[in-house]
């Protein structure tokens, strides 16, 4: 390092402590990057790569971004999963005797972003931490730095359950121990797309003990300690807005694993991976950003407590019954800004005057909103106002101190209201009167000299000056002005009197701006005392917003209040898929009933592709989720049990990242359901077994249905193209055949999308191919082949001259001894007593022997 200049030595020393981050090193009006940071940043940000002499043998790669526009470049890096360390000058260059002292003042990471332009206002930005313990259990801790929210959960079902838990929330970054299993770290990065960071310290600083007073488990303390230590390391500033850690009791919520959340498209679609087309996009009628975030939390964790669910339904019903009051409430909510994130920024110390004006407007709207709540007749809605504190003292502080048209910057004045501080008023008066005096002086000098183009101007280098164009210079009385500056077309002058006024004006301006900044900081500190109350107020406003959104959705989309029963009864009349019916606005969605009492646990669904089997299955799951999160549901009536878990296998999706085929993913998801489901669960399995050979698939499908029927007894919807399985209705007492009705008309199939009892007559596969516009000659050939096969013929003609033998029994070669052993082994297997996974393992071993 000795060969480099002192400044580069300073850079390298600081960079050595920030190895996994881009170091934004402040030099004047730029943030500069050097060496590998410069090479990588120039590529990622598409900015010019240059070089400079740093004292070594070779020139050093360098690139930079302007200080005033750095936020946009930082955002680009954060969105790509990188970290950025901000290194600022921490002493005045004028008093520095050598290299200006610099320090990293903040490490910005994907999970610790605070700047509003880098955030999705309708989504939390979670930093998570995972800790593993010797007994095989894990803790998962969460923090949203923008809101101060902290929570923790204990995972006892293994690492796959950890992945499902993390997948269930908008996590951007995960903090782990450096010794964490490398294969699992790869899963975090590649399967979940997280930035991985490290912290080995789990001790909790004494100043944060108030956050963990309710944590009585050493695992919880260690798990949250790791997360908290990382936040302290990266932020290096006040964390007073952090809230006490909330313990997530997972058994209080419906379990939705990562497969189900993905397959049901709760928050984003499978194809486009965006919100549009998801359940969230349909039911989100919230007004505020914090309400939208709360809605997503409710969707991620539907309730299991009947009393809590009913309480939400009562409030939705009360809001639904009074349209005009609800519309008034919605209008008032538009005036409520994001109190949750405002509170975080206030405590964090990066709030500006405009933010506090938004806070003032929000507090002004709260009393009117409370009066509106009082007008609702339903007692559960009318009482919502009773626990709301509109914080009148805080509102008074903001009204008295801040100017309504305050600028964004806090160091150029214009923030504090006239009359708030007498000293500031005096400075302002001096500045205003001084400028008035200068304007009068300009008029006087024009009259005295007769030069109408004479003007008095100002710049930061020379201050105030009198400017006279060159043609008019001979008209100036001799000795009237003192020459200051010569321009191409004019001369600039000063007078002792003008310099005296300049001193007074500039001194008043400087002192005014300095005093305003001090006063604003004082106001901000006063506001900081209300952070916890603001956070509680934000929770109340968010809840009200979500509930009115449920009522709005119910009103607009004809949802009804569901009822709950203890008899494991599913009775939905004229149920609809909440998303599909919105997509089909110009067409009529065909509603269907779903009925499963104690005598029926499995519905075996047959029918052609595109007929609506998957839609029918999904709408039951979505209706159950909506009902247990507190929403009304899309149907004419619904009586439901409270499901503890929902498992789905709907749609084919290869797991390309882990190299698993469609069939393996299908089996893993099926196994997950079979291993964890209870009689209070809901299982949706669509076309199980289609990823392998016909007989393998059929055998597995039947074995799975039997296993669920005999051993689990969960409510199950099982769709299949294996019509042979419909005979199970005669063997399994609690299984019922249903099918999606379709009819053939003039050679074309018409999907009626109606569910009826019994098995489907035929699959209509060729008709579906025809709808897909396959070549007509191909359709004709397939129709001929189908009729030939159905008539029992073993030979299919290609042309009159040439024969293609399909399914013709050929003379079998002599069977090697190994095949005889395999046949004996296969004949000895009792498939009816094997689990699906055992059957799959046996098939794998047989195939392995065949290949050896």
Binding positions for ATP are 607-614
* Structure-token pair, residue 319: 């809001």
Closest CA to 627 of 316, 232, 412, 392: 316
Contact at 8 Å (CB) between 763 and 632? no
Question: What are the structure tokens assigned to 821, written together?
Answer: 């052993």
Contact yes or no for 143/170 (Cβ under 8 A): no
Residue with tokens 């600028």: 407
Helix axes 694-707, 836-851, angle to 10 degrees: 150
Cα 662 to chain centroid distance, Å, stands at 27
Nearest CA-CA partner of 753 in 763, 745, 743, 741? 741
With the CA atoms of 36, 41, 46 and 52 taken in that order, what torsion angle do they form, in degrees rounded to the nearest 10? Answer: -50
- Antiparallel, parallel or unpaired: β 102-108 and 84-89: antiparallel
Report in angstroms the alpha-carbon separations of 77 from 146, 152, 756: 19, 29, 55
- Residue 387, Cβ neighbours under 10 Å: how many? 9
- Calculate ∠ Cα 355-361-364, nearest 5°: 145
Q: Given the structure tokens 């882990």, which residue do they identify?
A: 658
Half-sphere exposure of 593 toward its Cβ, with a 13 Å CA cutoff?
8
Q: Label residue 686 left, alpha or beta by phi (over 0 means left) and psi (-120 to 50 means alpha).
A: beta
Residue 213 CA, chain-centre distance (Å), reads: 29
Structure letter (DSSP) for residue 655: B
Encode burial over 172-200: b for 16+ CB neighbours within 10 A, e otherwise.
bbbbbbeebeeeebebbeeebebbbbebe
Of 268, 328, 256, the residue nearest 548 (C-alpha): 328
Question: Binding site: which residues?
Answer: 607-614
């Amino acid at each position: 390092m000795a060969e480099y200049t002192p400044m580069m030595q300073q850079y390298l020393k600081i960079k050595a402590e920030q190895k996994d981050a881009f170091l934004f090193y402040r030099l004047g009006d730029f943030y500069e990057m050097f060496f590998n940071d410069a090479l990588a940043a120039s590529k990622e940000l598409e900015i010019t790569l240059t070089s400079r002499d740093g004292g070594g043998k070779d020139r050093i790669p360098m690139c930079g971004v302007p200080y005033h526009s750095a936020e946009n470049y930082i955002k680009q890096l954060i969105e790509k999963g990188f970290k950025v360390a901000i290194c600022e000058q921490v002493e005045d260059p004028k008093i520095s005797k050598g290299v200006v002292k610099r320090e990293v003042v903040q490490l910005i990471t994907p999970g610790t972003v605070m700047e509003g332009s880098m955030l999705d206002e309708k989504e939390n930005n979670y930093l998570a931490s995972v800790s593993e313990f010797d007994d095989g259990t894990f803790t998962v801790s969460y923090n949203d730095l923008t809101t101060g929210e902290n929570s923790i959960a204990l995972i006892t079902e293994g690492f796959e359950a950890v992945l499902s838990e993390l997948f269930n929330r908008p996590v951007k970054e995960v903090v782990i121990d450096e010794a964490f299993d490398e294969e699992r770290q790869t899963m975090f990065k590649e399967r979940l797309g997280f930035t991985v960071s490290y912290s080995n310290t789990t001790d909790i600083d004494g100043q944060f003990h108030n956050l963990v007073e309710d944590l009585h488990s050493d695992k919880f303390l260690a798990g949250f300690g790791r997360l908290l230590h990382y936040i302290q390391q990266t932020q290096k500033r006040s964390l007073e807005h952090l809230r006490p850690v909330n313990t997530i009791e997972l058994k209080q919520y419906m379990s939705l694993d990562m497969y189900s959340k993905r397959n049901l498209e709760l928050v984003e679609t499978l194809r486009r991976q965006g919100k549009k087309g998801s359940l969230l996009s349909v039911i989100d009628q919230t007004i505020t950003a914090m309400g939208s975030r709360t809605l997503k939390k409710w969707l991620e964790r539907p309730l299991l407590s009947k009393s809590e669910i009913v309480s939400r339904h009562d409030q939705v019903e009360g809001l639904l019954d009074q349209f005009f009051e609800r519309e008034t409430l919605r209008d008032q909510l538009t005036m409520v800004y994001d109190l949750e994130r405002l509170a975080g920024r206030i405590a964090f110390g990066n709030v500006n005057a405009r933010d506090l004006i938004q806070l003032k407007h929000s507090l002004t709207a709260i009393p009117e909103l409370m009066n509106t709540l009082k007008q609702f007749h339903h007692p559960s809605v009318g009482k919502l106002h009773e626990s709301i504190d509109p914080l009148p003292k805080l509102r008074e502080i903001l009204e008295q101190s801040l100017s309504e048209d305050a600028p964004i910057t806090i160091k150029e004045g214009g923030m504090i209201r006239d009359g708030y501080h007498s000293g500031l008023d005096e400075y302002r008066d001096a500045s205003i009167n001084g400028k008035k005096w200068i304007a009068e002086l300009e008029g006087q000098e024009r009259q005295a000299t007769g030069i109408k183009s004479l003007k008095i101007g100002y710049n930061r280098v020379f201050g105030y000056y009198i400017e006279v164009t060159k043609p008019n210079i001979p008209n100036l009385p001799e000795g009237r002005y003192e020459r200051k500056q010569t321009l191409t077309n004019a001369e600039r002058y000063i007078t002792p009197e003008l310099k005296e006024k300049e001193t007074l004006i500039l001194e008043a301006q400087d002192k005014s701006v300095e005093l305003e900044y001090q006063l604003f900081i004082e106001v901000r500190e006063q506001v900081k005392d209300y952070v916890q109350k603001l956070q509680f107020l934000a929770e109340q406003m968010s809840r009200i917003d979500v509930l009115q959104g449920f009522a709005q959705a119910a009103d607009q989309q004809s949802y009804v209040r569901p009822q709950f029963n203890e008899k494991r009864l599913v009775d939905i009349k004229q149920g609809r898929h909440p998303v599909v019916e919105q997509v089909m606005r110009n067409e009529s969605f065909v509603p269907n009933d779903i009925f499963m009492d104690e005598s029926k646990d499995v519905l075996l669904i047959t029918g052609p592709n595109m007929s609506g089997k998957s839609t029918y299955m999904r709408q039951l799951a979505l209706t159950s989720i909506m009902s247990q999160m507190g929403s009304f549901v899309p149907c004419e009536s619904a009586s439901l049990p409270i499901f503890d878990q929902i498992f789905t296998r709907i749609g084919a999706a290869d797991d390309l990242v882990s190299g698993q085929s469609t069939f393996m993913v299908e089996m893993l998801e099926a196994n997950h359901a079979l291993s964890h489901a209870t009689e209070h669960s809901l299982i949706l399995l669509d076309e199980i077994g289609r990823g392998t050979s016909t007989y393998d698939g059929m055998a597995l499908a039947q074995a799975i249905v039997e296993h669920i029927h005999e051993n689990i007894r969960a409510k199950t919807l099982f769709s299949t193209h294996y019509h042979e399985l419909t005979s199970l209705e005669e063997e399994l007492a609690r299984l019922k055949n249903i099918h999606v009705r379709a009819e053939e008309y003039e050679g074309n199939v018409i999907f009626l999308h109606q569910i009826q009892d019994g098995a489907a007559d035929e699959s209509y596969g060729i008709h579906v191919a025809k709808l897909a516009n396959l070549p007509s000659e191909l359709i004709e050939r397939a129709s001929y082949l189908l009729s030939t096969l159905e008539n029992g013929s073993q030979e299919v003609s290609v042309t009159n001259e040439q024969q293609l033998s399909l399914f013709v029994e050929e003379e079998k070669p002599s069977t090697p001894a190994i095949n005889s052993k395999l046949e004996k082994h296969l004949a000895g297997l009792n498939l009816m007593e094997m689990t699906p996974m055992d059957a799959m393992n046996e098939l794998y071993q047989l195939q392995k022997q065949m290949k050896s």
